[in-house]
Amino acid sequence: MEIVIFGAPGVGKGTQAKILSEKLDIPHISTGDILREAVSSKSELGLQVQEIMAKGELVPNDLMGKVIKERLYKLKDQNGFILDGYPRTIDQVYIFNQICKELNYDNVCLLEIQVPFEVIIERLTKRRLCAECNSIVNVDDSKDRTTCPKCGTKNSLIQRDDDSFDVVSNRLKIYKEITSPILDFYRENNCLKMITINGQQDLNKVNHDIMNELVKVCV
């Protein structure tokens, strides 16, 4: 099964993609995770994208194209993928279509998760990552805002560089202007199956809705 998970930053794509990857036994490819790993290991790619990401801007299409081609070609003998963070521009849609043609993926499903922008800003600016156990936590949910509620480690909660208010606003603006037109493009060209899910619900309910819809379209 080939799934593109789509939506604004903070709608819960990463969380749902991880759950689906386990349930459906398909690899999760997150371009954001790939790039963040490159930045922290200071690889050539990392050095090229570090500043762009810190500002919440988009990495150039040709560079992203190389990254994604390499990943998808490596996975070509597996039973599909869940792609999170790509395509994000119309040019990337063309590149992705080309890759799908070459690898004979003709049943790709686009799964869109929708959450209102006001809710996203709340979520992202309160989101923290535990450096110890890798959990994503919301600092509103924990009485002690410096201790990880999952593993109990003190002072382990860090904020992603691009989750500050200004950068979140920029990421949402870019999503609205550059990324979301992809949905109209796909609707007009009618070239893949599309599902829309309400992401403003408990994460288990969101997952439940996704599974229900996937069964209907991706058989």
| Residues with a known catalytic role | 13, 88, 127, 160, 171
Radius of gyration of the chain (CA): 17
Q: Which of 1, 27, 50, 59 binds ligand ADP (CB under 6 A)?
A: 59
Residue 171 binds which one of Zn ion, ligand ADP, none, with CB within 5 to 8 A depending on kind?
Answer: ligand ADP
Euclidean distance between CA atoms 108 and 99, whole angstroms: 12
Residue 72 sits at the vertex; the CA angle it makes with 66 and 73, to the nearest 5 degrees, is 85
Residues present in the chain in total: 219
Residue 151 binds which one of Zn ion, ligand ADP, none, with CB within 5 to 8 A depending on kind?
Answer: Zn ion
Q: Which of 88, 95, 99, 210 binds ligand ADP (CB under 6 A)?
A: 88
Q: Does 9 bind ligand ADP (CB under 6 A)?
A: yes
What 3-state DSSP class applies to 147?
Answer: strand
Say how many Å lie between the first and final Cα of the chain, rounded. Answer: 9
CA-CA distances (angstroms) from residue 186 to 54, 108, 109, 191, 193? 30, 12, 11, 6, 9
Structure tokens at 115: 């959450």
Binding residues among 156-185 for ligand ADP as defined by CB under 6 A: 162, 171
Q: Does 85 bind ligand ADP (CB under 6 A)?
A: yes
Burial 160-183 (b: 16+ CB within 10 A, else e): bebbeeebbeebbebbeeebeebe
Binding residues among 68-127 for Zn ion as defined by CB under 5 A: none
Binding residues among 92-151 for ligand ADP as defined by CB under 6 A: 92
Q: Does 16 bind ligand ADP (CB under 6 A)?
A: no
Q: Which stretch binds ligand ADP (CB under 6 A): 21-29, 53-61, 126-134, 199-207?
A: 53-61
Binding site for ligand ADP (CB under 6 A): 9-10, 31-32, 35, 52-53, 56-59, 64, 85-86, 88, 92, 162, 171
